Chain A
Amino acid sequence: MTQFVLAVVLGLLFAVGTFLVLRRDIVRVVWGVTIIAQAANVYLVTMGGLSGTVPIVGHGPPEDPGAVTDPLVQALVLTAIVIGFGTTAFALVLTYRVYEEHGTIDLDELGETGGEV
């Protein structure tokens, strides 16, 4: 059941992200990229297995040592989140710079004012 729900949620996240990336508003594009990156993170977490218990070495012998969730993917996701945080901040600052230079954040108008690249 959890797997089904998560698969649907992941699909929805990717769909929403793709929809936003294709908008004309740059801020929406940046949010779309962020959502896609977060969807990739959620996907990465699900790769560690969903049915296991907390991967903590407690006191005494573990009750069921075989059934822990893989903690490695969570460490990977932490790294990816930090990187995503930095890139999102940069993308937002870049959006502001684009607004300062062009006076618009509409991608169609941006294409008209800039001429040929």
Chain B
Amino acid sequence: MAPQVVIAPLLIALVTAILTLLLRRFPRTQRAVSLAGAIAYLGGVAWLASAVARESILVYQVSAWQAPFGITLVADALSTFMLGLTAVVSLAAAVFSARYMSEYGQQVSYHALYHLLVVGVTGSFLTGDIFNLFVWFEVMLLSSYVLVVFYSGPEHTRAALQYTVLNLIGSAVMLLAIGGLYSTTGTLNMADMTRRLADSAQYNVDPVPVLGLAALLFAVFALKAGIVPFQFWVPAAYRAAPAPVSAMLAGVTKKVGIYAIVRLYFTVFAAASLPAGLSLPGFAGDSFLAFFGPILFVMAAASIVLGGVGAVSRVDLDGVLAYSSIGQIGFVVLPLAIAATVPGVREIGIAAALIYALNHGLAKSMLFRRCSRSASSSARSR
């Protein structure tokens, strides 16, 4: 199988976004193309999954520039699993939005933005390069800014302002961490970085600044995933966004943060050995994971408590779902924390987190859908 199949989902989503932009004069065709694009995306992901099932890992070097110099796209079991989740949730949300969004809103830009969001998410899952992860994050965030403010009423502009400013600062911090990592390890390619960190003496990599920069990067991913203490943007943004977009934000965009944590901290940074004296008391292990495990644990537990208490104290369904989403992300992160601290259950812990992420992605997007339907029917009966 040619490695080009790796870019199939990316290309399908991108072409769909461009076509829906061009077809704005023909709303019915536009909607049909958007839905067809979502179905084709599912097909592309299935094709990729069958290829990955056969060859276990597919690497595509863009323009045949060899790693670590070129842009690398990697599809393995983890990224294919996340793509499958994206494909299912985005198809359901696309069908839902075709019925839910106003005619005019769909005609102007909704479908194009929606598919560009999918492009950004797909790129984040497929990239094998830290700087490209930043770029795909930005592609995803730029469309999500506009989708959050799509109704542009008073509440929506306010929530979107908060969401935008927070994520812009998050992006600047991410850029800082990436620059520092490049300077200390001398590479941006994830596989190459793993190799250099594992053999830090030979490549002259100092693990102390790498640990600090990894922690900085961790804060950014926690912000994207909405883990306590970076959860405060979640309720306002979910309430402001149209229901199908909330479903995408909760079901897919948050998972990009989780995916980045799994990908970078359980493979790349796990290869580095912890500098002496920095391991937390009571936790053995000389990998970076021994440092991040307890942190993940505290953040996950805090998310579960805060999300649960917040959800119980809300009176509106949107607020309950948004807060419970914070708690659910805590439940996704908790097995990751255990996997990080106890090496014996590492693989099973990651698998548990991914299964729960799938469960949350599907269930929460259905709940947001249900919730908006009951809201609109109660508005009609009034």
Contact = CB atoms under 8 A, between A and B. Distances in A.
Which of B146, B164, B235 has its CB near the most chain A CB atoms (within 10 A)? B164
Nearest to A39: B172
Contact of A21 (B135, B142, B169, B171): B169
A51 interface: no
Interface of chain B, helix or strand or loop or mixed?
Answer: helix
Contacts of A97: 149, 152, 157
A59 to B, nearest CB: 24
Nearest to A87: B168
A16 interface: no
Contact of A86 (B142, B175, B183): B142
A47 B180 contact: yes
Interface residues of A, number: 33
Contacts of A87: 138, 142, 145, 164, 168, 171
A19 interface: no
Contacts of A9: none
Given A43-B179, A91-B165, A117 B172 contact: no
Nearest to A17: B172
Contact of B172 (A30, A40, A79, A114): A40
Interface in B158-214: 158-161, 164-165, 168-169, 171-173, 175-176, 178-180, 182-183, 188
B326 to A, nearest CB: 15
29 contacts: A26-B161, A33-B165, A33-B169, A37-B168, A37-B171, A37-B175, A44-B175, A47-B183, A72-B188, A73-B179, A76-B182, A80-B134, A83-B142, A87-B142, A87-B145, A90-B145, A90-B164, A94-B145, A94-B160, A97-B149, A97-B152, A98-B161, A101-B152, A101-B153, A110-B158, A113-B154, A114-B158, A117-B159, A117-B239
Interface of A: 21, 26, 29-30, 33, 36-37, 39-41, 43-44, 47, 72-73, 76, 79-80, 83, 86-87, 90-91, 94-95, 97-98, 101-102, 110, 113-114, 117
